[in-house]
Structure 1
Amino acid sequence: MINTPHHIATDDHESSDKTLSGQTTIALREAIVCGVIKPGDKLNEPRLAEQYKVSRGPLREAIRRLVALRLVRHVPHVGATVVTLSGDSIRDLYEVRESLEGKAAGLAAQHMTDQQIAELRDLLKVHRRHLEQNAGEYMQAEGDFDFHYQIIKGSGNQLLVNQLCNELYHLIRMYRFQTSRFRARSDRALIEHEQLIYAIEMRDPELAEMLMRKHITRAKNSILNSLFEEEET
């Protein structure tokens, strides 16, 4: 029996995949994203096969899928290991996010319905309440509870949705969990989210794209600066 966390964000293909390899992929992916299997850890096939009660075939297929999701990489003479957090990898990912999510925000200003925008405002209230009740800890939510995820879906552009909500989404989630100890931007992030909603409400695609790009750039710089300070100490 494979146990997976509740409220997991999945794409349509994944949610309909009831095969052992598909369910093993979800279980391993969540363990990696949430840090149960840590960055740099080697994926020991015999141990994982026993832990998840699957044969080596479905397990290897699951690992292959995790490589495609960029959560795992093959190291010569070592095997499959979980990717590690580095300044270069953060910079690369956030530069891609800046471009693609900026475009998504601009399109969302054109295509999101009034109902979707109202739901985005309700979501922001949930995030603000969580921040107030948890000593400034940013809400680590995914899927329909994720602010960025909702804007990307609201863009109406399926290629952007596929890139950001399927292909890169879990790598982004993993980095969020790994950098969640850096709380300095929590209040600022909520203010920036509020500004983004305003731009979308005003149906101003240029403003929405600019604000999203600046929002992601500030997040990148904050994480990189915190990592640098951590390494210095």
Structure 2
Amino acid sequence: MIMYNPLHPAKNMDLRQIVYEKIKQAIVSGIIKPGEKLSEVELAEKMAVSRTPVREAIRQLAKTSLVTLTPRKGAYVSLPSISDAGALYELREDLEMFAAALVSVNPPEKELKEFLEIFKHMGNDTDPQKYLEEDRRFHAFLYQSSGNRFLMNSLQELVDVINLYRPYSLGDTEYIRHLAEGHVEIIEALLARDEKRVREAMRAHIRMSRARLEAYLNTHTSERLPLRP
């Protein structure tokens, strides 16, 4: 007699998770832009799946604030608002200052020196996508290196929304150099194991990003904000 195994691979669940991750990545990377409507039919066709896992993925994404469900209109990729940006970056500032302070106790020198070389060689002529990629990698590395799993989990819950907002914080490309210099200051403070300096550098970096984001949102009030390529 063959017994039913409740731990048998859940293929349908796997498919739903795959669809969810693919749509989420398309949103965070800017392939599907803020303000754009999510069509279940089009997404299902592109991924060669039925509409059911797409519908479930969209509902799940709505819980993360990446997607907004509008009655009788459908689902849209969330548009950043000034009030939401302020609330998010206030929380981000506190959490990332704490994470960086924890890392300063025993900084992973090899990886930090590699990041230091990357950001030292960035300027206003740096490809914005390259900066964003390294920026995401660096902050994710700090989260993981904090050694506090509860803090890391809290930051991981926010990271998708932070990544949605990140491209707007660039402003014009002239700010890439300033933002890269902020990373250099954070890393040098970490390598010096100077917790106070680390906190101040992280606060300054997050506040600069927030200021650029709010300035951009203040001057772009159309229904669909253009995401930087």
- TM-score interval, normalised by the smaller of the two chains: 0.7 to 0.9
TM-score (norm 1): 0.79
Equivalent residue for 1:120?
Answer: 112
Alignment of 1:132-143 (within 5 A): 134=126, 139-141=131-133
Distance in 1, matches of 2:217 and 2:125, equals 26
Match of 2:152 among 161, 166, 174: 161
Q: Is the 8 A contact 1:111 1:156 kept in 2?
A: no
Residue 25 (structure 2) pairs with residue 30 (structure 1):
yes
Once the 2 structures are TM-superposed, how far is the Cα of residue 133 of structure 1 from its aligned partner?
5.7
Taking structure 1 as reference, are residues 135 and 83 closer, same or farther at Cα in structure 2, changes over 3 Å only? closer
Taking structure 1 as reference, are residues 141 and 160 closer, same or farther at Cα in structure 2, changes over 3 Å only? same
Residue 212 (structure 2) pairs with residue 217 (structure 1):
no
**Segment of structure 1 superposing worse, 24-33 or 121-130:** 121-130
Once the 2 structures are TM-superposed, how far is the Cα of residue 181 of structure 1 from its aligned partner?
4.8
SS at match of 2:161: helix
Distance in 2, matches of 1:44 and 1:222, equals 32
Q: Is the 8 A contact 1:33 1:174 kept in 2?
A: yes
Once the 2 structures are TM-superposed, how far is the Cα of residue 206 of structure 1 from its aligned partner?
2.7
Larger radius of gyration: 2
TM-score (norm 2): 0.80
Alignment of 1:1-233 (within 5 A): 19-112=14-107, 116-131=108-123, 134=126, 139-141=131-133, 146-164=137-155, 166-229=156-219
SS at match of 1:74: strand
Taking structure 1 as reference, are residues 98 and 171 closer, same or farther at Cα in structure 2, changes over 3 Å only? same
Once the 2 structures are TM-superposed, how far is the Cα of residue 179 of structure 1 from its aligned partner?
4.3
Distance in 2, matches of 1:63 and 1:157, equals 31
The Cα offsets for residues 68-119 of structure 1, whole Å up to 9 and x where unpaired, read as 322112112222211002222221211111111011111111143xxx2321
Once the 2 structures are TM-superposed, how far is the Cα of residue 137 of structure 1 from its aligned partner?
7.2
Taking structure 1 as reference, are residues 126 and 175 closer, same or farther at Cα in structure 2, changes over 3 Å only? same
Distance in 2, matches of 1:31 and 1:156, equals 30
Taking structure 1 as reference, are residues 58 and 98 closer, same or farther at Cα in structure 2, changes over 3 Å only? same
Q: Is the 8 A contact 2:100 2:202 kept in 1?
A: yes
Count residues with an aligned counterpart. Answer: 210
Q: What are the ranges of 5 or more consecutive residues in structure 1 without an aligned counterpart?
A: 1-16
**Segment of structure 1 superposing worse, 172-181 or 155-164:** 172-181
Taking structure 1 as reference, are residues 27 and 217 closer, same or farther at Cα in structure 2, changes over 3 Å only? same
Once the 2 structures are TM-superposed, how far is the Cα of residue 156 of structure 1 from its aligned partner?
0.8
Code of the aligned partner of 2:126: N
Q: Is the 8 A contact 2:165 2:213 kept in 1?
A: no
